[in-house]
Amino acid sequence: MGEKDYLKALAQLHVELVKLQTWVQHTGARVCIVFEGRDGAGKGGTIKALTERVSPRVFRVVALAAPTEREKSQMYMQRYIPHLPAAGEVVIFDRSWYNRAGVERVMGFCTDDQVRDFLRMAPLVERVIVSSGVILLKYWLEVSPEEQTRRLQSRISDGRKHWKLTEMDLKSYSRWFDYSRARDDLFRFTDTEHAPWLVVDSNNKRRARLNILSDLLGRIPYTEIPHKKIVLPKRQKAGDYVEPEHPYKRVAERY
């Protein structure tokens, strides 16, 4: 997909996302969007495309760091519950409670019993979330092993992307089929009628982003909220104001 066609389609979707934002604020709706997938599947780029034209005070991204010792002693879902949306918010989880069924399971950060407990518990918690009126959307970005390798290699060779490649990425890269088994169990237990998984082919990043934005707009019953016509007011006259002769330290104009 060419950049020109991509940007044109993205701009149209951004207009609709702004309408969605106004509707969420006006109605007090609560929206929770979960993005999951393997390393390099394109979650970060999709979230950027989703949020770059809306207010971060309405579209709030949650990307939790590794749990503290205190959080490790809590009930597993406890650290995620406070981040769920209040009225007039769209909360986007860049990875979520499904860490337990994914990276924690594959990398040995939890026991098999803890994984089984989570897989039984997650659908029940999500039923409570949905029953409370939250619109819950769960997207799984599916990338091929060849495309994942290409993207991770790009992170190695491109200085702008070094921060994206962590020790955990390198350790998990070799465990493709362990992640496949974890993904299969995740779908089997948590792909429910009240909170289904929405799977996206993310081998083409641009098409994946457009497909996801289009899909989520179609799943939320927003309407365009009329707004008053905006007219800039007249500026005040200068009166006795005089520009000071201050020795400003200016940024060099290198470009």
* Rounded-to-integer distance, Cα 28 and Cα 14, Å: 20
Q: How large is the greatest C-alpha to C-alpha distance in the chain, in angstroms?
A: 76
Residue 161 pLDDT greater than 90, yes or no? no
Q: What is the token pair recorded at 179?
A: 């992640």
Predicted pLDDT at 14: 98
Q: Quick one: average pLDDT of 88-95?
A: 96
Q: How far apart are the first and last CA of the chain?
A: 31
pLDDT of 3-38, one tens digit each?
Answer: 999 999 999 999 999 999 999 999 999 999 999 999
Domains of the chain plus CATH, in order, are 3-219 (3.40.50.300)
- The answer to whether the beta carbons of residues 199 and 41 sit under 8 Å apart is no
Whether 115 has a pLDDT exceeding 80, the answer reads yes
The tens digit of pLDDT for each residue in 31-75 reads 999 999 999 999 999 999 999 999 999 999 999 988 999 999 999
Q: Please determine, for residue 227, whether its predicted confidence score (pLDDT) is greater than 90.
A: no
For residue 27, CA distances in Å to 20, 87, 168 come to 10, 8, 41
**Closest to 139 measured CA to CA, from 213, 79, 193, 85:** 213
pLDDT digits (tens, 9 = 90+) for 163-217: 877 777 788 888 999 999 999 999 999 999 999 999 999 999 999 999 999 999 9
> What pLDDT is attached to residue 209?
97
Q: How far apart are CA 135 and CA 219, in angstroms?
A: 9
What is the per-residue DSSP string for the chain? --HHHHHHHHHHHHHHHHHHHHHHHHHT-EEEEEEEESTTSSHHHHHHHHHTTS-TTTEEEE---SPPHHHHTS-GGGGTGGGS--TTEEEEEES-GGGTTTHHHHTTSS-HHHHHHHHHHHHHHHHHHHHTT-EEEEEEEE--HHHHHHHHHHHHH-GGGGGG--HHHHHHHT-HHHHHHHHHHHHHHH--SSS-EEEEE-SSHHHHHHHHHHHHHHHS---PPP-PPP-PPPPPP-TT---------PPP---
Structure tokens at 167: 């020790």
pTM of the predicted protein model: 0.91
At residue 228, the pLDDT reads: 86
For 119-134, what is the mean pLDDT? 97
Chain center to CA of 168: 20
User: Residue 96: pLDDT above 90?
Assistant: yes
Task: Return d(Cα 206, Cα 5) in angstroms, integer.
Answer: 10
**pLDDT value at position 165?**
78
**pLDDT tier at 162 (50, 70, 90 boundaries)?**
confident
Q: What per-residue confidence (pLDDT) applies to 3?
A: 92
